[in-house]
Amino acid sequence: MSLTNRILIAMVAGIAMGSIINMLMHATGVSAELKSMLDVYLVNGLFDVVGRIFIASLKLLVVPLVLVSLICGSSSLGDSARMGPIAAKTLTFYLATTAIAISLALFFAVLISPGSGVVLEGVAEFDAGPAPPLTDVLVDIFPSNPVRAMAEGKMLQIIVFALLFGYAISHAGEPGRRLAGFFRDVDAVIMKMVEVLMALAPYGVFALLSQLFSSMGIGAIMDLAAYFFTVLGVLLVHALGIYSLLLRVLAGLSPAILLRKMRPVWAFAFSTASSGATLPITLRTVEKRMGVHNSVAGFTVPLGATINMDGTAIMQGVATVFIAQVYGVDLSMGDFITVILTATLASIGTAAVPGVGLITLALVLEQAGLPVEGIALIIGVDRLLDMVRTAVNVTGDATVSVIVGKSENQFDQEVFDDPRADQLGDDRRDTPAVS
């Protein structure tokens, strides 16, 4: 059985196991001793330990992978003066897809009206914390201490430092060529570490989902079914429709191939609910299984994991309309335009802030003149939706990477089309890009 199928089976088994435990924990005929044993030894014992170790292992690779991949990519492009156009294309695509995502969300939310008929009672207070000023966001992009940036996991600062370092390598003559060879070797070793970790992924995925669903249960979805399935539906339309259309029109490639090769990445994204934690798997998949050269993928994928939040933008669009309907507030066309602009720009401005989805939603609600306390209405199902929108985010990262790689001739069509590259462990990463 392929590793992809084992991960998917572990994901389904984890959801089933967690749901069964949740039912046992709330069943009246189950003894208190058994409930205590399940809670202490299984949910908060075995599942918690395995899940946290798995997440820590993923995060372990993020900083060195981003740093080394970007240094390799920028050093190989330093003499060709293509880094500027690549960066401009990538940023444009990410912002454009985010604007499309929230526009779709607003359209379907108005069409479906998920907040109609919802009774407002006992809404809890919610404190999202202040969003950072735009001036601080811009200044914080540039590191004063790259070592501290790596220790604190500040991705934008790491990206800036790696780009500058790679550019300097490409212009340092013979010492630069020796150093570039060293980083290419380190990159190969880190990718092997990713491969080793992926072999253990089914156990981590099973533990994470078992713990989550044992505490939440499937029943949490039914309390906000209209909102939940509206967000879920728009996420699927954006991931399967918009990305596929962009890939076909702009790159002339088959969306079915890309979506098939994204299956293991989706499993990681769904179980971790973190684009950053999934970054090593996304980057490896984009390079080895989709044929995007490291000079492009090493920049587009880490940047996407930092600023590309199409899934979050969809949640914000539907949540804004939902909260407005619950509170009986009519949104004007100017309000909709404000929501689109605010959410699109906030995808960059608050990228490095913890709890980014809810913080940017609070910012959007304030701009639209809606009560921020309304966020408390959707918190119950936000964790489940966060898992799905993370899968949408990483799909956007891969799609933009392939489009930019194809436009820059830094793309291997044979690797993309090769069905053998759909198997994890394929050793074709070193295939040179078509030029």
Question: For 212-229, what is each residue's pLDDT tens digit?
Answer: 778 766 655 665 788 889
102-138 pLDDT, tens digit per residue, is: 899 999 999 988 877 665 554 444 444 555 566 776 7
Q: Is residue 150 part of a domain?
A: yes
Does the structure show a pLDDT above 60 at 19? Answer: yes
Number of domains in the chain: 1
Range of the domain at 122: 3-417
Residue where the block lists tokens 């089933």: 16
Residues 288, 293, 297: CA angle, nearest 5 degrees: 85
* Cα–Cα distance for residue pair 316/322, rounded to 1 Å: 10
On whether residue 427 sits in a domain, the answer given is: no
Is 333 among the domain residues?
yes
Q: How far apart are CA 284 and CA 287, in angstroms?
A: 5
* pLDDT above 50 for 192: yes
What's the pLDDT tens digit per position in 43-73?
A: 888 888 888 888 788 778 778 877 887 787 7
Q: Look at phi and psi of residue 253 and say left if phi exceeds 0, alpha if psi is from -120 to 50, else beta.
A: beta
**Residue 434 in domain:** no
CATH of the domain at 314: 1.10.3860.10
Q: Determine, yes or no, domain membership for 426.
A: no
> Six-digit token pair at 48?
């918690």
432 is a domain residue? no
Residue 269 pLDDT more than 50?
Answer: yes
Q: What is the DSSP string of 216-285?
A: H-THHHHHTHHHHHHHHHHHHHIIIIIHHHHIIIII---HHHHHHHTHHHHHHHHHH--HHHHHHHHHHI
Radius of gyration of the chain (CA): 22
pTM of the model: 0.73
Report CA torsion sign: 136, 141, 142, 146: positive
- Has residue 220 been placed in a domain? yes
Inside any domain, residue 73: yes
